[in-house]
Amino acid sequence: MWIDRARAGRYLCAGWRWARLLAPRHTASGVRVFYGHDLVPAEGEPVAGGTAKFQRLARRFPNSSTDFSLLYLGSTSLPRDLGPLLRLARRREIPVVVNQDGVAYPGWAGEATEELNARYRRALQAADHVLFQSQFSKDSSDLFLGEPAGRWEVLYNAVDVDHFTPAATAPTDGPVLLLGGDQTQAYRLELALRTFVLVLERNPAARLLVAGRLVSPAEPLLEELGIRDRVELVGRYAQRDAPNLIRRAHLLLHTKVNDPCPSAVIEAMACGLPVVYPASGGTVELVGDEAGIGVPHPEGWERDEPPSPEALADAVLQVLAARPAYSAAARERAVERFSLEPWLDRHAELFTELTRRPRSRPS
């Protein structure tokens, strides 16, 4: 019943928005951004996927759902009424910016690959300007979606480095490993737990924090491995609580392969956590050579083949042995490359340019 009411509420909001959108109007000048959704999570509220970028952008550009001069879309959170919105933008010569994350590929999307990519492709090809979250995002998009019709650039995700800061003192217990973000693929949780067992053999005081939404139950494997008392299932958390959670750990264990540009990695680095991860996707570009260790594994699109637990555990132990140096490098890299203010400034420049220049919309 609650789900039906929530769905009805969304339809009612969308209907009211479209009634206002289609009414005769006087167009004012200036940058007014619509993110394709009637509600953008308030600052500090839980977010997922593209809504995290909307939340950060809304600091400077509040969501304007009915009188917008620019349409900003995130590939991982495209609106249900994508087609009508794109047609309206074209008719009114409203510029479209797409923030392109990843694509669907057979290794995780299976038979739904083309169905998912069709929506991504539609948004991408309608965009006046595409912001790829990493070079990996650009390369995979070119492969599965085709090259964009409009202009493009690589703009990595960003983090508020004044909010995400290192702990005053490192946790005294542990070592503590953090599996951050949402665990939306079953292998990510299993790989982390099996890796942790091997770390635990060398560090009997070690603990693992598992954050985010789980798509598979953890309890059976926890019981099988005999580590229930060493693992804490944190669950989903609000952005306002994220720094305190990250500061409880010494290291981020990120187990997703082919991850385009994970914000969880940038947030952890800003808090001084080094990262151990599969050496694929955009994560390699984020962490570099000094802020953690990427573990090689078979790369391909037909199936996901992450590193072995043994290889990940070896990397974890190597990083922990030199954690102060890795930690300092992680914080420095986050501040220098992924600070929020320059990211917002670039958006401001782009939005101003697009809303002022003569239109040459992709065909």
Predicted confidence at residue 239, as pLDDT, reads 84
Beta bridge partners of 159: 339
Burial class (CB in 10 A: 0-12, 13-18, 19+), 43: middle
SS3 per-residue string spanning the chain: CHHHHHHHHHHHHHHHHHHHHHCCCCCCCCCCEECCCCCCCCCCCCCCCCHHHHHHHCCCCCECCCCCCEEEEEHHHCCCCHHHHHHHHHHCCCCEEEEECCCCCHHHHHHHHHHHHHHHHHHHHHCCEEEECCHHHHHHHHHHCCCCCCEEEECCCCECCCCCCCCCCCCCCCCEEEECCCECCHHHHHHHHHHHHHHHHHCCCCEEEEECCECCCCHHHHHHHCCHHHEEEEECCCHHHHHHHHCCCCEEECCCCCCCCCHHHHHHHHCCCCEEEECCCCHHHHHCCCCEEEECCCCCCCCCCCCCHHHHHHHHHHHHHCHHHHHHHHHHHHHHHCEHHHHHHHHHHHHHHHHHCCCCCCC
| pLDDT, mean over the chain | 91
- 26-35, 76-85, 90-99, 240-249 — which is least confidently predicted? 26-35
pLDDT above 70 (res 127): yes
Q: For residue 270, which of 348, 127, 167, 118 has the smallest C-alpha distance?
A: 167
pLDDT single digits (tens) 267-314: 999 999 999 999 999 999 999 999 999 999 999 999 999 999 999 999
pLDDT above 50 (res 223): yes
Q: How far apart are CA 70 and CA 355, in angstroms?
A: 7
pLDDT above 60 (res 10): no
pLDDT single digits (tens) 180-217: 988 888 999 999 999 999 999 999 999 999 998 888 88
pLDDT above 80 (res 228): yes
Q: For residue 72, which of 59, 80, 84, 58 has the smallest C-alpha distance?
A: 58
